[in-house]
Amino acid sequence: MDRELYSQAAVIAFREDAEGQLEVLLIRRPDQRKWRIPKGIVEPGISLEDTARDEAVEEAGIVGRLSVQPVGYYSFKKWGGICHVSVFLMRVTDVHAEYPEKDNRMRRWFPPATAAQIARRKKVRKLIAELPRLIKQQGL
C-alpha cells in the first residue's frame, strides 16, 4: 500500500538576548503541552525556503535570515501518510506583536539547553543541542 508523502519546511529560530546569550523560539497551541518549531506543508510551486519563511511569520510572527540549506531532516506519520520535514535555521531579526496565528499559538524564548529538552521531536532536540556548531557552519 502506497502512503501519501507530504513535504514540510520548518525553522529553528534563534537570537541573542541583551547579554549576548543564545535563545531559541518554540511555539505551542494553548491547549497542548508540547513545544514545537514553526513548520508547514510545502505547497506546489513554493520553495522549501519560502515555506519556512512563511510559516515562521504565520505561526510565530518572526522574520529573519534563513540558512542557505536545511540543517537536518525528520519524518513522522500524519494524515495517513508520511511527513518529511526539512529544517532550516533562522537568525531572527524582527518579532511582530501581531501575526496570523497569534490566537492559536503561544511563543516563548528558551535557552538552547532548555529548548533541547522540551521540543517535541527527538531530531529537533538534537539539532537544537548542536545549535552553536550549526550557526557557525551556516555562517549565521
By CB neighbour count within 10 A (0-12 exposed, 13-18 middle, 19+ buried), where does 97 fall?
A: exposed
Among the listed ranges 61-65, 71-75, 76-80, which one has the minimum average pLDDT value?
76-80
- As a whole number, mean pLDDT of residues 13-38 equals 96
Distance, CA of 41 to CA of 23 (rounded, Å): 26
Can you give the CATH number for the domain in which 68 is found? 3.90.79.10
The number of domains in the chain is 1
Domain holding 133, by residue range, is 5-138
pLDDT reading at 2 higher than 70 = no
Per residue in 113-138, pLDDT (tens digit) is 999 999 999 999 999 999 999 999 99
CA distance 132 to 140: 10
Least trusted range by pLDDT, from 52-56, 67-71, 77-81, 122-126: 77-81
What does 12-63 look like in DSSP terms, one character per residue? EEEEE-TTS-EEEEEEE-TT---BB--EEE--TT--HHHHHHHHIIIII-EE
